[in-house]
Amino acid sequence: MYVFAILTLTIFDMKKFILFVILVFGFTACSALPESAEEEAVEEEAVEEEAVEEEAVEEEEVEAEGVTASLILEAFEVKYSDRDYDGFIVDINKGSDDYAMGVISPAGDGPGGWWYAAKVDGAWMIIQDGNGDPACEVLEEYGVPAEWYTYDGVKGCF
């Protein structure tokens, strides 16, 4: 008799628990319903405007001593005419009237690589690019300032 009473009480409590879980998850699911299409469109437009503003700021930031990201992209397109550089991001770490160095990477995720550029006959030219250490001989040949590839007195090239 006691066993029956305990089982009945336990089953009754279990039903209450299951009902409680269903109600909690039911209300949670209702509150997580997507916004209206109009609200989503407004939110997407705001995100797009913010991205355009960031892109404009990024273009301003990469300008260094007469070299811009677009000039470096043009130099990459000349060096590697078989590749499409739409959507690539160019960061200029150092720039002067005749030399520049930085990183290029595809938009979104993906690995990038370093590059060195020199102004040759009035046009920017990519003199080296890659992922390992640059060749000292090439940097010296084009006259890239040694402090651009020397760290704590040690050359960062081979």
Q: Phi, psi (5° rounding) for residue 64?
A: -145, 110
Tokens at 65, concatenated: 């001593």
| pLDDT for the residue 7 | 43
How far apart (Å, rounded) are the C-alpha atoms in residues 113 and 131? Answer: 5
Other CB atoms within 10 Å distance of the CB of residue 117? 26
CA nearest to 58, candidates 114, 97, 107, 100: 107
pTM: 0.59
Q: What is the pLDDT of residues 21-73, one digit of tens each?
A: 565 555 555 555 455 666 776 677 666 666 544 554 444 444 566 799 999 99
Distance CA 128, CA 93 (A): 15
Nearest to 92 by CA among 125, 68, 56, 122: 68
106-141: per-residue pLDDT in tens?
Answer: 987 778 999 999 999 999 999 999 998 999 999 999
Domain residue limits, the chain: 2-49, 66-155
The helix/strand/coil state of 45 is: helix
3-class SS shares of the chain: helix, strand, coil, % to 5: 50, 25, 30
- Helices then strands (H, E): number in the chain? 4, 6
